[in-house]
Amino acid sequence: MQEVILVNEVDESIGSMEKMEAHEKALLHRAFSVFLFNKRGEMLLQKRAASKYHSPSLWTNACCSHPMPGEETEQAALRRLEEELGFTTSINKAFHFTYKAVFDNGLTEHEFDHVFVGEYEGAMQLNTEEVSEVCYKTMADIKAEIEHNAGSYTEWFKIAFPLLEEWLQQNRSTYAAA
């Protein structure tokens, strides 16, 4: 049974709850999203496995999940990179945002999402229970695909993407190729 950290609107922990129950009750909980780029500034995307309980077979960022109670958010992000894609790399906290998305199966993601950014272009060992495929795409190509085929991407990715674009504009020196 996986638990998530329940938080208030400023990300202060107010307890924990079993993950599915938190999603059924639409309670705000801590999450993270990792965005990775190769040296050409292309973003690593993953296609979620068809067996995922929500947003199956949709494209999204390198990885995302929830830290466990007592686990630091950055450490959880590195753990999930290893579990889903078979590698770790240096990541830096970029920004955070809160979102709420209701899914067809009655579950709701209501998350205080910590966004991490990094670079990677090496070997990957995909966990096929989590990820069906990966690819790198330019920001411009992703933006065009979201505009023309939004249903191919996860809800949180469509919310985070323009926030990430803005962050990259303000931090161009850090991720110059992006």
Structure confidence by residue, pLDDT tens digits, 137-146: 999 999 999 9
Q: Stretch 51-72: mean pLDDT, rounded?
A: 94
Give the pLDDT band (50/70/90) at residue 103: confident
Beta-carbon contacts of 20 under 8 Å, excluding residues fewer than 6 positions away, are 107
CA 103, CA 110: separation in Å to the nearest integer? 11
Catalytic position from the list 42, 63, 64, 84: 64
Q: What pLDDT sits at residue 106?
A: 83
Give the pLDDT band (50/70/90) at residue 178: very low
Q: What pLDDT sits at residue 98?
A: 97
| 125-175: pLDDT as tens digits | 999 999 999 999 999 999 999 999 999 999 999 999 999 999 999 987 555
Q: What pLDDT sits at residue 176?
A: 47
The chain-wide mean pLDDT, for the chain, equals 94
Q: What pLDDT sits at residue 14?
A: 98
Question: What is the DSSP code string of the chain?
Answer: --EEEEE-TT--EEEEEEHHHHHHHT--EEEEEEEEE-TTSPEEEEEEPTT-SSSTT-EE-SEEE-PPTT--HHHHHHHHHHHHHS----EEEEEEEEEEEE-TTS-EEEEEEEEEEEE--S-----TTTEEEEEEE-HHHHHHHHHH-GGGB-HHHHHHHHHHHHHHHHTTTTTTT-
Q: Is 111 a catalytic residue?
A: yes
CA 76, CA 68: separation in Å to the nearest integer? 7
Q: What pLDDT sits at residue 173?
A: 53
Catalytic position from the list 42, 84, 111, 155: 111
Q: What pTM does this model have?
A: 0.94
